[in-house]
Amino acid sequence: MTPDVRPLVAGNWKMNGLRASLDQLKAIGEGVKGPLSDKVESLICPPATLLYVATAVVTESPLAIGAQDCHTAISGAHTGDISAEMIADCFGTYVIVGHSERRTDHAESDALVRAKAEAALAADVAAIICIGETGDERKAGQTLDVLERQLRDSVPDGATAARVVIAYEPVWAIGTGLTPSAADVEEAHAFLRAELIARFSSEGKSIRILYGGSVKPGNAADLMAIANVDGALIGGASLKAEDFLAIYRSYETLLA
């Protein structure tokens, strides 16, 4: 954890979720009500088909709703894409950009990720910018080099703690059940913190750095207790209210 930084527990539903899944969303929305919500922010990013109705379902909850991607343009001939303005129009407050699955499946470059983040900020939507090394890059000892490049080239100038979140997701750990050691996570997050401070001065001290990659109820408390880990970006475990809330509530002990 980072002192005086409000953690964020975020769920990325990816290409999962139909209208029937709104029952899980309602349960999450109810489950994050209470005193802990003043100390810990919660967020679910459902598929775009559920974005608008999701915001309506949790109107009375502190749970935030976001999107999983956006286009760089405000509007135009971009079939199948959604803009940050459309996300804001649906009352979404966050958007994930640069997830490894977008970088891999759609060949998204750091420059494109940066442009998407800039589009989000222009629409007053906070950007969760994902970075992380592949298994091959890790084996080659290139983890910190990859993180330095992706952080430098994917994060817009003028980033602030209020509008930008960094998510460190080792690509080899996403959905595999594997997680880095606590020492590896601490090293990566400490490196990212130092890079953020070097670039953004005092603002870099407060930009949240999430950890993502097979986060589940059984390991969440240990991961969230690591220095400079300011929350989690959760994949599969966010699809079930029980699992998401167990991760969220790990902060009841950590912040006691």
Q: Determine which one of 85, 108, 169, 195 is catalytic.
A: 169
DSSP string of 186-227, one letter each residue: HHHHHHHHHHHHHHHGGGGGTS-EEEESS--HHHHHHHHTST
Residue 20 DSSP class: G
174 by DSSP, 3-state: which? coil
Number of H helices, E strands in the chain: 11, 8
* Catalytic choice (41, 71, 85, 99): 99
Helices (H), 35-181: 51-57, 84-89, 100-105, 110-122, 135-139, 143-154
133 annotated active-site? no
Q: Which of 121, 114, 132 is nearest to 169 (CA)?
A: 132
Backbone φ and ψ for 153, nearest 5 degrees, come out as -95, -15
Contacting residues for 150 by C-beta, under 8 A, at least 6 apart: 98, 110, 131, 132
99: annotated active-site residue: yes
The number of residues making up the chain comes to: 256
CA distance 217 to 134: 24
- Count other Cβ atoms within 10 Å, centred on residue 205: 15
Question: Are the C-beta atoms of residues 144 and 191 closer than 8 Å to each other?
Answer: yes
Catalytic residues: 99, 169
